[in-house]
Amino acid sequence: MLKSEALNVEKVRADFPILNRKVHGKRLVYLDNAATTQKPNVVIDTLVDYYSRYNANAHRSVHTLGEEATAAFEGARKTVSRFVGASSPEELIFVKGTTDATNLVRFAWAEKNVKRGDTIVTTLMEHHSNIVPWQLVAKKKGAEVKYVGLNKDGTLKMDEFEDAIRESPALVAVTQCSNVLGTINDVARICRLAHEAGAVSLVDGAQSAPHMPVDISKLGTDFFAFSAHKMMGPTGIGALYGRKSLLEGMDPFEGGGDMIKEVHTSGATWNDLPYKFEAGTSNIAGAIGFGSAANYLSEIGMDKVRRHEVELLEYALENLSKVKGMTIYGPEDADQRGGVLSFNLSDVHPHDLATILDERGIAIRSGHHCAQPLMEWLEVPATSRASFYVYNSFDDVDSLKEGLEKANEMFGA
Amino acid sequence: MLKSEALNVEKVRADFPILNRKVHGKRLVYLDNAATTQKPNVVIDTLVDYYSRYNANAHRSVHTLGEEATAAFEGARKTVSRFVGASSPEELIFVKGTTDATNLVRFAWAEKNVKRGDTIVTTLMEHHSNIVPWQLVAKKKGAEVKYVGLNKDGTLKMDEFEDAIRESPALVAVTQCSNVLGTINDVARICRLAHEAGAVSLVDGAQSAPHMPVDISKLGTDFFAFSAHKMMGPTGIGALYGRKSLLEGMDPFEGGGDMIKEVHTSGATWNDLPYKFEAGTSNIAGAIGFGSAANYLSEIGMDKVRRHEVELLEYALENLSKVKGMTIYGPEDADQRGGVLSFNLSDVHPHDLATILDERGIAIRSGHHCAQPLMEWLEVPATSRASFYVYNSFDDVDSLKEGLEKANEMFGA
Amino acid sequence: MSSAEIYKEIILDYYRHPRNYGKLEKTDGSARETNPLCGDDVEIQFSVADGKFGEIRYSGKGCAISQASTSMLTELAKGKQVEWVKELSKEDVFKMLGNPELGPARVKCALLGMKALKVAAYGYLGSKFEENNGSDS
Amino acid sequence: MSSAEIYKEIILDYYRHPRNYGKLEKTDGSARETNPLCGDDVEIQFSVADGKFGEIRYSGKGCAISQASTSMLTELAKGKQVEWVKELSKEDVFKMLGNPELGPARVKCALLGMKALKVAAYGYLGSKFEENNGSDS
Ligand SMILES: Cc1ncc(COP(=O)(O)O)c(C=O)c1O
Ligand SMILES: Cc1ncc(COP(=O)(O)O)c(C=O)c1O
């Protein structure tokens, strides 16, 4: 790696106004990026510019503001679809977030296509948004959800997965990167095997799209779900990529304006892709801000983002494992995991740890991380989690380490 | 009316940065408020403040930013629920917008409670978002949608409504204010009659909550749906009020994080109200901005907003009706209608008119306004629509009048 | 040219005095296109003689831009080889209209007639191709 | 007092050396409360003698704040009239903990034990009331 290619973290940090904030009088050390990420000035400015210069309803009005808003909204769709390597913008549906995306697939695809006796394959490391929708479909349809188990190091048991798909499941729904263990799954292979077994595949990209180069055309998945707020974009917006042939065969999800071609008292016909799945006024500002975030990330370069996080992770794994009483979960090799570090510290409860760290300006997450089945597997009620992004520095890791040692001291360990 | 109580439009206008914009070199005359409204500085600043000072995932983190974000988010819920007179914040569910709200009721209430042979009563003046969901439920369940017709002046045929509810419909879904005709329906009476007939009631408040005082406790409706973007708030956020006893009996809508109490591989249990219906990371910034918009409107006073719009409407009805070739739709009495004025101008097609007006800086809407059954009833393919808000002035109406006369001239009328 | 100008100079003439408006008894090709957003609706019908457009008519309703551009297009097409539609581009239509400044929504209005003409002509050419190659199968 | 201080001074002592931890054989009242967000979980059990709390125990798991405040609360309640819970307020609990600065999420942890104690005590008082009025029905 050439030094000149390296990321200039200080330069990146300068783009994020919140990083100047003091918390309890201390420098903010924001390590809760798997929950949500901070926004660069350019994204905030994009929202301000929209609302103060060309706010209008998209698709509906032929006046200048309306045309500008529509052009920016559709421009954002192109940007975001290119960002994840979708083959065409009409395959990219704007939704509220990852959860809305998996539920769209649940209502508009699974409720129609999952039959009594079918199986839906998912894993023990999924976020609730990639579990609960399938439990509900399975219950309604008389199907069964199968959970692929994990190896000790938090990687998927691929043999269990292969057993599971031998039963020709209707759907295989897997995360590309665990929000607790950091485990990166080989979703290209998983999707290939799923397709060979006749299953439709869905990849939860909530923790991958923000942190590593993603190319859907190479992953070969049928559906891919992700959230803007986890990749420097606004809240309330995300995207579902869907393979065109599948989307075309699906009924709409929500009904209302924009998703129709014609409405009569006797019934309605549906609009073309992607509008068929976008009922009502969209989160126009959100989508435009999402595009701006994708542009910002592309300018840094997703390779660099990934490389920086791997470096942070290596540094963190090495240094934090030296802290007394630390149990770190997930794969040991930083190359095989995302920048998410879950752990427990001796008998300090994660919530107490979060409070103690907060006092020092350090924001981590504590709890079940919306992954209770994984907590059961780990046999802990909760974990602490530090998660990195491209604006985090080695100093942030050092601060965390000091905070952990301080907590140990307080708890008398 | 005391002069001193009157609204200072110039002062209001100064709060809206977009109103300084020039379109085709002309002053922007924004008359497309029924599609979406402009945002005051305070709302834009609220978003900037959130993203640059305390952006974090709500409900999930115990660090300072997380607690501040949660407090602001829940504070916004209180503000918005007070704004519409909901009896308790837990009855106010944050959704994407009105369309998302009606679809929530469709999936979480109607799919369970509407039975074969039931009827759903709606009207010919509804927006597609209050038609299509019911058509889809009816089709799925073997129920029937009944459309209450309209009198010549665009008011509801109350006798038809009373006939319709004699059949004890499962649901009565009516708009409080038409987005095309401006007609204000007596929804308090409609809900009372609906309840007496054993029906559940839903009021589409998309065009009423922004423009007149609304007090749900007096309307007595079971559900009330509205969108922030139509009341000076951000895009991608809205609210569904639901009566507690109904909400408690309902299954959740989308499945995922936050809406659960516990998730096991064997199944899940649901969180308390309102969280049961808010799956995934919410549009946190959007909700906080929504609260800010509601505060801004309350500070002006919804009485004054309404009074100003009635005055504009009276002035517009009187002056625009003098333009050659004008056909104006809807009730004649400004007191009985919202600030929405749909019309056709001789044989100038609405789209041509919108383009001609745009050239003069005037933004109106042309088309079917997501109300095709109403267009069929009016026997026109489309209408032009000018819709007012509190920042519109008498000058705006004058500009519109000049533009219409100009169009007449161009088209040789 | 601003859209106000274009209304004055060209479009309104065709909108007021539509050329080739109506339906044909016998057609060799036809197609209908609509724009759900604004309700524009045009149908084009034509007969063919010697591989060229013979009679050509349009019908429908909608804004001045969609109706006038369709009317002008029928005039332009008349007597030309049906194959010519393969070369017909957006730019040709804009030029025909006098290069007005149109926003994206109104561009759709301007191109609706071209879309109908292309669909109709390709349909005709396709069926011709099948006929000519029918003996092989 | 900052939360770091409170951990040092009071909470940790109770967290390390829980008072009244365990279960009772025979109870007159009990209740369990959980906080789904963080997985805190406490159960309170008590016996009553002469209208006063007799034996009182808590069990469960969770953060130091929830566990310590529950433990302290059992000490505070012991020997008091069961009716006393009616007057017990948030402020009493905060005072008992030394008025720490707690954010809203951690406040829920601090009050979990009080919630369990109140539910249990009201349950007891309610059943007593029914017993005493049972002869009327
Ligand atoms: C009366 C009415 N109902 C519902 C809607 C739908 O609102 P939204 O597009 O915000 O979902 C609108 C506006 O588009 C409306 O005017
Ligand atoms: C792996 C994973 N999937 C799904 C989600 C849900 O995303 P959202 O809350 O934006 O819908 C999250 C984050 O909360 C996540 O980490």
For residue C33, give the DSSP letter: E
Centroid of chain to Cα B395 = 26
pTM value is 0.95
Ligand 1 center from residue B86 Cα (angstroms): 20
User: Nearest chain A Cα to C103, which residue?
Assistant: A67
Q: Quick check: A157 and A151 in contact, CB under 8 A?
A: yes
Q: Do chains D and A touch (3 or more CB pairs under 8 A)?
A: yes
- Phi and psi at A105, nearest 5°, equal -65, -40
Task: Name the residue in chain B with its Cα closest to that of C8.
Answer: B410
Q: Where are the alpha helices (DSSP H) in A114-157?
A: 132-141
pLDDT score at D15: 83
Rounded to whole angstroms, the Cα distance separating C24 from C58 reads: 9
Residues of D in contact with A412 (CB under 8 A): 12, 16
The predicted pLDDT at position D8 comes to 67
Please count the residue pairs, one from chain B and one from chain C, whose beta carbons lie less than 8 angstroms apart.
52
Q: Do residue C103 and residue A60 have CB atoms under 8 angstroms apart?
A: no
B359 interaction partners in chain C (CB closer than 8 Å): 2-4
Contacts of C134 (CB under 8 A, 6+ apart): none
Write down the pLDDT at residue C35.
84
A62·C36 Cβ contact <8 A: no
From the alpha carbon of A229, which atom of ligand 2 is closest? 10
Q: Do chains D and C touch (3 or more CB pairs under 8 A)?
A: no
Does the beta-carbon distance from B61 to A365 stay under 8 Å?
Answer: yes
| Ligand nearest to the backbone CA of B211 | 1
State the Cα angle at A209 between A205 and A213, rounded to 5°.
130
Q: Where are the domains of chain D?
A: 3-120
User: Closest Cα partner for B111 from A259, A270, A255?
Assistant: A255
Is the Cβ–Cβ distance between A202 and A221 less than 8 Å? yes
Pocket test for ligand 1, best of B32, B98, B128, B130 (most atoms within 8 A of CB): B98
Cα angle A261-A263-A267, degrees, rounded to a multiple of 5:
115
Instruction: Record the tokens describing residue A364, joined without a space.
Output: 């981590």
Query: What pLDDT is stored for residue B5 in this prediction?
Result: 63
Which CATH number applies to C3-120: 3.90.1010.10, 3.40.50.970, 3.90.209.20, 2.40.50.140? 3.90.1010.10
Test the C interface: residue of B352, B357, B359, B376 with most C CBs within 10 Å: B352
pLDDT at site A413: 66
pLDDT for position B413: 65
CA-CA distance, A6 to A4, in Å (whole number)?
5
Catalogue the active-site residues of D: 38, 109
CA distance A354 to chain D (A): 10
Q: Check residue A2 and give its pLDDT.
A: 42
Q: Is B79 in the pocket of ligand 1 (CB under 6 A)?
A: no
Q: Residue A223: phi, psi to the nearest 5?
A: -130, 150
Contact residues, chain B, for A129 at CB < 8 Å: 255-257, 279-280
Chain D CB within 8 Å of residue B262 CB: yes
- Using the Cβ of C40 and the Cβ atoms of chain B, whether some distance falls under 8 Å is answered with yes
Residue B198 backbone class (left: φ over 0; alpha: ψ -120 to 50; beta: rest): left
- Subunits adjacent to chain D (3 or more Cβ pairs under 8 Å): A, B
B255 CB within 8 Å of a chain A CB:
yes
Q: Give the per-residue pLDDT at A395.
A: 98
CA–CA dist B367, B349 (Å, integer): 10
Q: Is the CB of B101 under 6 A from ligand 1?
A: no
- pLDDT bucket at C10, cuts 50 / 70 / 90: confident
Q: How far apart are the first and last CA of chain A?
A: 41
Atom of ligand 2 nearest to the CA of A238: 10
Check D36 against B71: CB less than 8 A apart.
no
**How many angstroms separate the CA of residue A253 from the nearest CA in chain B?**
9
* Residue carrying structure tokens 């708890």: A411
Q: What is the pLDDT along chain A (413 residues), one digit of tens a residue?
A: 444 467 999 999 999 999 999 999 999 999 999 999 999 999 999 999 999 999 999 987 789 999 999 999 999 999 999 999 999 999 999 999 999 999 999 999 999 999 999 999 999 999 999 999 999 999 999 999 999 999 999 999 999 999 999 999 999 999 999 999 999 999 999 999 999 999 999 999 999 999 999 999 999 999 999 999 999 999 999 999 999 999 999 999 999 999 998 999 999 999 999 999 999 999 999 999 999 999 999 999 999 999 999 999 999 999 999 999 999 999 999 999 999 999 999 989 999 999 999 999 999 999 999 999 999 999 998 999 999 999 999 999 999 999 999 999 988 86
Residue-wise pLDDT for C31-47, tens only, equals: 999 887 777 899 999 99
- Subunits with 3+ Cβ pairs within 8 Å of A are B, C, D
CB contact under 8 A, D7 and A351: no
- In order along its 413 residues, chain B shows pLDDT tens digits of 444 467 999 999 999 999 999 999 999 999 999 999 999 999 999 999 999 999 999 987 789 999 999 999 999 999 999 999 999 999 999 999 999 999 999 999 999 999 999 999 999 999 999 999 999 999 999 999 999 999 999 999 999 999 999 999 999 999 999 999 999 999 999 999 999 999 999 999 999 999 999 999 999 999 999 999 999 999 999 999 999 999 999 999 999 999 998 999 999 999 999 999 999 999 999 999 999 999 999 999 999 999 999 999 999 999 999 999 999 999 999 999 999 999 999 989 999 999 999 999 999 999 999 999 999 999 998 999 999 999 999 999 999 999 999 999 988 86
Q: Whose CA is nearest to atom 14 of ligand 1?
A: B35
Instruction: Let me know if D74 is exposed, middle or buried by CB neighbors in 10 A (0-12, 13-18, 19+).
Output: buried
- Give the DSSP letter of residue C21: B
Q: Is C9 on the interface with B (CB under 8 A)?
A: no
Which ligand has the shortest distance to the CA of B203? 1
Grouping H, G, I as helix, E, B as strand and the rest as coil, residue A370 is coil
D59-82 pLDDT per residue, tens: 998 899 999 999 999 999 999 999
Q: Is the CB of D104 inside 8 Å of chain A's CB atoms?
A: no
Q: Do B368 and C39 touch (CB under 8 A)?
A: yes
* Contact flag C103-A64 (C-beta cutoff 8 Å): yes
Contact between D38 and A382 using a beta-carbon 8 Å cutoff: yes
**ipTM of this predicted complex?**
0.94
Whether D103 sits inside 8 A of B64 (CB atoms) is: yes
B92 residue type, one letter: L
DSSP for A22-89?
A: EETTEE-EE-BTTT-----HHHHHHHHHIIIII---TTT--SHHHHHHHHHHHHHHHHHHHHTT-S-G
Angle of CA points C5, C9, C10, to nearest 5°:
120
Residue type, B218: K
Q: Is D2 on the interface with B (CB under 8 A)?
A: no
In the numeric block, which tokens belong to residue D107?
């406040």
Count the neighbouring beta carbons within 10 Å of the beta carbon of residue D132.
Answer: 9
A370 part of the active site: yes
Sign of CA dihedral B180, B181, B186, B190: negative
Longest dimension (CA), chain C: 56
Partner residue opposite D4 with nearest CB, options A359, A381, A412: A359
Task: Determine the residue among A347, A349, A362, A383 to mutate to test chain D binding: the one whose Cβ has the most chain D Cβ atoms within 10 Å.
Answer: A349
Question: Rounded to the nearest 5°, which phi and psi values hold at A144?
Answer: -130, 140
Ligand nearest to the CA of A60: 1
Chains adjacent to C (≥3 CB pairs closer than 8 angstroms): A, B
User: Residue D99: pLDDT band by 50, 70, 90 thresholds?
Assistant: confident
What is the rounded distance in angstroms from the CA atom of residue B145 to the CA atom of residue B120?
5
Nearest to A87 by CA among A179, A189, A208, A220: A220
The span from the CA of B55 to the CA of A300, in Å, is: 22
Ligand number with the minimum distance to the CA of A132: 2
- Cβ-Cβ contacts under 8 Å, C105 against chain A: 61-62, 66-67, 70
Q: What is the pLDDT of residue D85?
A: 96
Measured from the CB, is residue A280 less than 6 Å from ligand 1? Answer: yes
| Tokens 């009659």, residue located | B193
Active-site residue list of B: 370
Instruction: State what percent of residues in chain C have pLDDT above 90.
Output: 65
Q: Tokens in use for D4?
A: 């770091």
Q: Is D95 on the interface with A (CB under 8 A)?
A: no
Do B277 and B93 touch, CB atoms closer than 8 A?
yes
| Confidence at D134, pLDDT banded by 50, 70, 90 | low
Distance from CA of A53 to the nearest CA of C (A): 17
Give residue A86 CA to ligand 2 midpoint distance, Å.
20
Q: Out of C4, C38, C103, name the one closest to residue B367 (CB).
A: C38
Domains of chain B: 9-30+301-410 (3.90.1150.10), 44-299 (3.40.640.10)
